[in-house]
Amino acid sequence: MAEFEPRIIVFACNWCTYAAADIAGTNRIQYPPNVRIIRVMCSGMVAPEHISLALESGADGVLVAGCHPGDCHYISGNLKAEERVQMVSKVTNMLGIEEERVRLKWIATSEGTIFAQTIRDMVEELKKLGPSPFRESRQVSQEKPALDLEDILQETKAYYCLECSKCTSICPVAKYDSSCSPRSVIEDVALGLERESTRDKKLFSCLGCYACSLRCPTDVDFPAFVQRVRALAFGADEHGCPAHGGFLHSVTRLMARSPYKQKRLGWLTKEYRVSDNSDILYFVGCAPYFDPVFQYLELRTLDITEASLKILNHLGVEPMLLPDEKCCGHDALWTGDTETFQRLAEHNTRVIREAGIKKIIFSCPEGYRTFKLDYPKYGFKLDCELQHISEFVAGKMGEQELKLKEFRKKVTYQDPCRLGRHLGIYDSPRQLLQAIPGIELAEMEKNREYALCCGTSAFTNCDLYSHEMRVGRLQEAKATGAEILVTDCPKCQIHFRCAMNNKGEEKGPDINIEVMDLAKLVADALE
Amino acid sequence: MDEPRIGVFVCHCGINIAAYVNVPELVEYAKGLPNVVHAERNLFTCSEEGISAIKRGIKEYNLNRVLVASCTPRTHEPLFRAACEDAGLNKYLFEFVNIRDQCSWVHMREPERATEKAKDLVRMGVAKARLLEPLEEIEVKVAPSALVIGGGVVGMEAALNLARQGFDIHLVEKEPELGGTLRSVYKLFPTNQEATKLIKLFVEQIEKHPKIKTYLSSKVKEVTGFIGNFDVNLDGKGGASKFNVGTIVVATGADKLKPVGQYGYGKMSNVITQLELEERMKKGEPLGQNVVMVNCVGARIPERTYCSRICCMTAIKNASLIKESNPEARVWILHRDLMTYGVDFEKYQRRAMEMGVRFIRYSLESPPEVVGDGKVERIKVYHELWGKDIELPCDMLVLTTPLIAGEDNQDISKMLKVSLDEFGFFLEAHLKLRPVEFAMDGIYICGSARWPTDVAEGISQAFAAASKAAGPLRLGYVKPEAINAWIDEDKCSGCGICELLCPFQAIELQPRDDRRVSHVSEVVCKGCGTCSAACPSGAIIMHHFTNEQILAQIEALFS
């Protein structure tokens, strides 16, 4: 058998590293022919998704190379590249991908020898590691979706649509974006216009928030309908506009196909008590992965995880954490990538079954919804009780006393759509909040089933309307006089914080209010 | 855009490529790639013949994309782009693949694998070429005038140079008179010319030059705009002024460090700095029989690690001048190292030694000590070669201090959107590649504002900065980079991440209807793509290096 020859993609900045490769050429410095250079103007141009997609495509190694600090043709682009590669490395290392596969190196114009040596070293290291497992598991083409337009109409009863437009009248997206209309999306499908339906960019703007279902006189399940049509669109290579460059979706796909053992519990310290013998599972979800990605918003998503564990421990529960739990698949499913979703669901249900779990506690509303509603629908059945942490704690409050310190603040509560309208959980988070002495809960004008959205779902189609939705919601929160906006979805936090991202020294954000996770608030109040 | 029709031109580069890469095989391979309608090979694609082949190919095959597989874009891209333009094809529809520096020259012992790699690179190039889009270069008019900030000899030289070329110059000096730091200097090394005479020479020319308008006791309050079109607001003695210039030269010089608290400075009457010494010498005041100078006071220490370069020569010059006026005087220079670079300076130092100036080296670990009550009487210093302390009689202790970054630098840097280095001096775009230019187009730097310089160096830099600043003024227009970032306003959520990231401050959130969206100044943008890599909404298109183009290359490699 021929020796394994690694394939390496080098993102080389035009001014330093690309020139260094030229110098290696003019000096006839020989190095192994395993690299393919992609020229970029600056290493700061290399986005996280470029690296992750290279890995997904089957690259055995990726090198981002630019000018030495201080030498950047664009002042500081290389330092941005460094931050990004470090972020990506944190994520890929968590996925279990060997750290040698993603590298950053400063190579100056004069350093042709260093360029050649870097390649030699990388080739040698990668030969030791062997081929990337993603070469084989690469998704070649989407399977033909199980359903066609007619099936979708049947399943979601969309043919009952009366074209009354009540859905459009309540749709939070349509409120800001007049070109978006749930009714016309249904109409296209009902008329059998497959091309129009799947190509409609607005198809990916739907938040799946279920506000429309409040109004529909004929009980059309529009979000489920959208979910299905998106799968058709995905098959036709239509994806909407993925937020954050599609990096998060790419990470999900890598995870779904990865044979590696994840290193997702690196944050877990002795401070938290967990047990391998428990039959209660705490589903950690994406928090460890979100953490490095959203650092720039000064958000630590692992705070939610740690707070949840603290609360569970306080109630005497030492849950099991699964080191090989994977993403629940929510975003894959809602962007039409059913294949990835099914891989993830299959994996999760299998490892959970094998671990003998009787009850799963979620802090993330999306994970909860996906396990509860989507897994069974796609045939992934679990014989477990599923609960949101607020339900679990509220349930315990009758029998066990939560020892909570006084916290004298006026707060308001954001019902995440997945927890509220999807699963009907409105009371337990409020019960928890009100259990904290001193807390005054002020409701926003639109609350419970009428709550407004954080503006983006499944990290897709984040645009000006998303921002307007956020600002609108934040204004409502502000109007209550609350100091803190409490929510229990990490994505709500991400999106609200983004809307308040500082806009330079003088200008400041459009609006400002502290945003906090419910579990974190409760955990901080524990004695 | 029509369906891509790509022409591939593979260069033999004589034997440079063809001896190691199987060029005919590569050409055949290229013919089979999607959207490639023509592929051929040339002995030298960059030769007259090769260039005609490209032009002919464009016409004959109705090509709307051209790919050349040869050497490096860093040397040959302009040539091939020009060939495309000559044949009526937008030059940004050209793609370059480097199979010489990246294949034949570096994989000489593995010709087969070099050929395979060349095929991969061509396939990746074709994948990108399919997605190339024509770009238009805009032209921005340049106002034929310049602002020079700082009226020292360096600023004056820059102003004169530009004025002599026929441009209207606004020269701004914050002090009531021109001359800058040199006003307090006695004589200049290595010529021993009197500084005041040099200043006079400059001031006379400045004053009589019809193209130069001088603003004394004035400060630049606000600068807005970009190369070719800066709006300047001044605050000054004579009231506020407003004008428009095409380019700006920064020649604000540096400040002098006052070594308060060191070696009795400020407490003992006979401890002074070199500049204070020069004032005394100018007035002819007596200095005493024994003069000790300590170099590197406040320089090359952990808190201020840099060497100020000009102070060693200042000390040697002043020591020589003392010896010249009073050969009986005894002068010691206590130093850590000597910065007397170049032939003239080295000669100057030898001359000082011949005159009797004595040099003693001390180390940072055991600095000289002051002995005396109320005034310095003796200086104790550890003599490294003798390995023991020695004591020198001292009537006057002169401290040699470094130049430090000007106190206004922070404000000016914010106002002009230009960078400062770790010590607060101004920082040029690139030390070697763009030495007197700022990263911000149209703004230039010279003299001690960048780094401590002596007069001759400062004046050379003034010439350099002035000639750079004159370029766009003479041309009358600038063509900003066409490879730049573009905002899709329909997608922009107005989160402002790009604005925070842009190294050139080319992006600003601006009101649009009732919201705020990012706006890229296409004149200021340099096309680094730092913004597009971070945009959460995918709203920033980095022209010529779009996400789709980069991903297509990755995809093509593994397909």
Nearest residue, CB atoms, B526 vs list A24, A74, A244? A74
Could you tell me what percent of chain B has a pLDDT over 70?
100
Alpha-carbon separation of residue A154 from A148, A185, A193, A228, A233 (angstroms): 10, 16, 16, 11, 18
Alpha helices, DSSP H only, in B476-542?
Answer: 497-501
Instruction: Give the Cα separation of A358 and A421 in Å (integer).
Output: 26
A425 Cβ contact partners less than 8 Å away, ≥ 6 residues apart: A388, A390, A391, A419
CB within 8 Å: A241 and B538: yes
Neighbouring CB atoms inside 10 A of B284's CB total 8
Phi, psi of A369 (to 5 degrees): -60, -45
The region that residue B512 occupies, defined by phi over 0 for left and psi between -120 and 50 for alpha, beta otherwise, is: beta
Phi, psi of A204 (to 5 degrees): -90, 0
Asked if pLDDT for residue A508 goes beyond 70, the answer is: no
Give the pLDDT confidence score for residue B398 in this predicted structure. Answer: 97
Give the pLDDT confidence score for residue A146 in this predicted structure. Answer: 63
Nearest residue, CB atoms, B496 vs list A42, A49, A503? A503
Asked if pLDDT for residue A141 goes beyond 70, the answer is: no
Instruction: Give the Cα separation of B5 and B66 in Å (integer).
Output: 8
Instruction: Give the Cα separation of A187 and B1 in Å (integer).
Output: 32
Using CA atoms of B412, B414, B420, B425 in order, give the dihedral in degrees to the nearest 10: 20
Give the pLDDT confidence score for residue A507 in this predicted structure. Answer: 56
What is the total residue count of chain B? 559
Give the pLDDT confidence score for residue B286 in this predicted structure. Answer: 87
Neighbouring CB atoms inside 10 A of B140's CB total 18
Say which range, A87-96, A153-162, A403-412, has the weakest mean pLDDT. Answer: A153-162
Q: How many angstroms separate the CA of residue A83 from the nearest CA in chain B?
A: 11
Give the mean model confidence (pLDDT) for residues B203-229: 95
Nearest residue, CB atoms, A245 vs list B102, B419, B547? B547
Instruction: Give the Cα separation of B473 and B165 in Å (integer).
Output: 10
Say what angle helices B73-86 and B48-60 make with each other, to 10 degrees.
50
Q: In the CATH scheme, what is the code of domain B258-403?
A: 3.50.50.60
Alpha helices, DSSP H only, in A236-281?
Answer: 247-257
Give the pLDDT confidence score for residue B543 in this predicted structure. Answer: 96
- Chain A residues closer than 8 Å to B107 by CB: 30-33
- Chain B residues closer than 8 Å to A135 by CB: 558
Which residue did the predictor score with more confidence, A424 or A73? Answer: A424
Instruction: Give the Cα separation of A472 and A460 in Å (integer).
Output: 20
Instruction: Give the Cα separation of B345 and B332 in Å (integer).
Output: 18
Radius of gyration of chain B (CA): 31
Instruction: Give the Cα separation of A189 and B343 in Å (integer).
Output: 86
CB within 8 Å: A33 and B113: yes
Give the pLDDT confidence score for residue A510 in this predicted structure. Answer: 67
Could you tell me what percent of chain A has a pLDDT over 90?
76
Nearest residue, CB atoms, B551 vs list A53, A243, A510? A53
Phi, psi of A134 (to 5 degrees): -80, -10
Instruction: Give the Cα separation of B227 and B476 in Å (integer).
Output: 11
B396 Cβ contact partners less than 8 Å away, ≥ 6 residues apart: B270, B272, B277, B287, B288, B290, B291, B292, B376
End-to-end CA distance of chain A: give it in Å, rounded.
64
Say which range, A158-162, A286-290, A297-301, B138-142, has the weakest mean pLDDT. Answer: A158-162
CB proximity B337 to A under 8 Å: no
CB proximity B105 to A under 8 Å: yes
B513 Cβ contact partners less than 8 Å away, ≥ 6 residues apart: none
| pLDDT tens for each residue of B342-387 | 999 999 999 999 999 999 999 999 999 999 988 999 999 999 888 8
Cis status, amide bond into A6, omega within 30 of 0: no
CB B172 within 8 A of CB B159: no
| pLDDT tens for each residue of A356-385 | 999 999 999 999 999 999 999 999 999 999
Instruction: Give the Cα separation of A410 and A441 in Å (integer).
Output: 6
B255-256 and B403-404 beta bridge pairing: antiparallel
CB B35 within 8 A of CB B126: yes
Among B423, B528, B551, the residue to mutate for chain A (most A Cβ within 10 A):
B528
Asked if pLDDT for residue B136 goes beyond 70, the answer is: yes
CB within 8 Å: A467 and B483: no
Mean pLDDT, all residues of chain A: 92
Instruction: Give the Cα separation of B307 and B328 in Å (integer).
Output: 32
Instruction: Give the Cα separation of B27 and B5 in Å (integer).
Output: 16
Radius of gyration of chain A (CA): 25
DSSP 8-state assignment for residue B104: I
Could you tell me what percent of chain B has a pLDDT over 90?
86
| pLDDT tens for each residue of A415-438 | 999 999 999 999 999 999 999 999
Residues of chain B with CATH 3.30.70.20: 485-543
Residue A239 β-bridge partners? none
Q: What topology is assigned to B141-254+405-478 in CATH? A: FAD/NAD(P)-binding domain (3.50.50)
In the sheet that holds B358-361, the strands lie side by side as B271-273, B396-399, B290-294, B330-335, B358-361
Give the pLDDT confidence score for residue A399 in this predicted structure. Answer: 82
pLDDT band at residue A186 using 50, 70 and 90 as cut-offs: confident
Residues of chain B with CATH 3.50.50.60: 141-254+405-478, 258-403
Alpha helices, DSSP H only, in B308-441?
Answer: 311-325, 342-355, 409-416
Nearest to A208 by CA among A461, A387, A467, A471: A461
Give the mean model confidence (pLDDT) for residues B536-546: 95
| pLDDT tens for each residue of B490-512 | 889 888 899 989 988 899 888 88
Say what angle helices B311-325 and B342-355 make with each other, to 10 degrees.
40
Among B92, B102, B500, the residue to mutate for chain A (most A Cβ within 10 A):
B102
| Chain B: residue whose CA lies nearest to A240 | B538
The first and second tokens of residue A132, run together, are 């990337």
Q: How many angstroms separate the CA of residue B490 from the nearest CA in chain A?
A: 7
Nearest to A224 by CA among A169, A185, A253: A185
End-to-end CA distance of chain B: give it in Å, rounded.
25
pLDDT band at residue A503 using 50, 70 and 90 as cut-offs: low
Angle at B472 between CA B470 and CA B476, to 5 degrees: 115
Alpha helices, DSSP H only, in A355-456?
Answer: 365-369, 375-377, 389-397, 427-435
Residues of chain B with CATH 3.40.50: 6-135
Return the SS3 of A5.
Answer: coil
- Chain B residues closer than 8 Å to A502 by CB: 496, 500
Give the pLDDT confidence score for residue A187 in this predicted structure. Answer: 83
Burial bucket for residue B513 (CB in 10 Å: 0-12, 13-18, 19+): exposed
CB within 8 Å: B558 and A73: no
Instruction: Quote the pTM value.
Output: 0.83
Residue B518 β-bridge partners? B509
Q: What topology is assigned to B485-543 in CATH? A: Alpha-Beta Plaits (3.30.70)
Q: How many angstroms separate the CA of residue B512 from the nearest CA in chain A?
A: 11
Give the pLDDT confidence score for residue B490 in this predicted structure. Answer: 86
CB proximity B411 to A under 8 Å: no
Q: How many angstroms separate the CA of residue B206 from the nearest CA in chain A?
A: 36
The first and second tokens of residue B235, run together, are 């605050």
Instruction: Give the Cα separation of A257 and B251 in Å (integer).
Output: 60
B114 Cβ contact partners less than 8 Å away, ≥ 6 residues apart: A33, B20, B21, B103, B104, B107, B108
CATH 3.40.50 fits domain B6-135: yes
Give the pLDDT confidence score for residue A145 in this predicted structure. Answer: 60
ipTM (interface predicted TM): 0.92
Residue B331 β-bridge partners? B291
Burial bucket for residue B2 (CB in 10 Å: 0-12, 13-18, 19+): exposed
Give the pLDDT confidence score for residue A199 in this predicted structure. Answer: 79
Asked if pLDDT for residue A239 goes beyond 90, the answer is: no
Instruction: Give the Cα separation of A466 and A495 in Å (integer).
Output: 9
Could you tell me what percent of chain A has a pLDDT over 70?
96
| pLDDT tens for each residue of B24-76 | 999 999 999 999 999 999 999 999 999 999 999 999 999 999 999 999 999 99
Q: How many angstroms separate the CA of residue A484 from the nearest CA in chain B?
A: 21
CB proximity B123 to A under 8 Å: no
Alpha-carbon separation of residue B437 from A76, A297, B465, B519 (angstroms): 16, 34, 7, 25
Say which range, B101-110, B347-356, B479-488, has the weakest mean pLDDT. Answer: B479-488
Q: For residue B366, how many C-alpha atoms fall within 13 Å in the half-sphere facing its CB?
A: 13
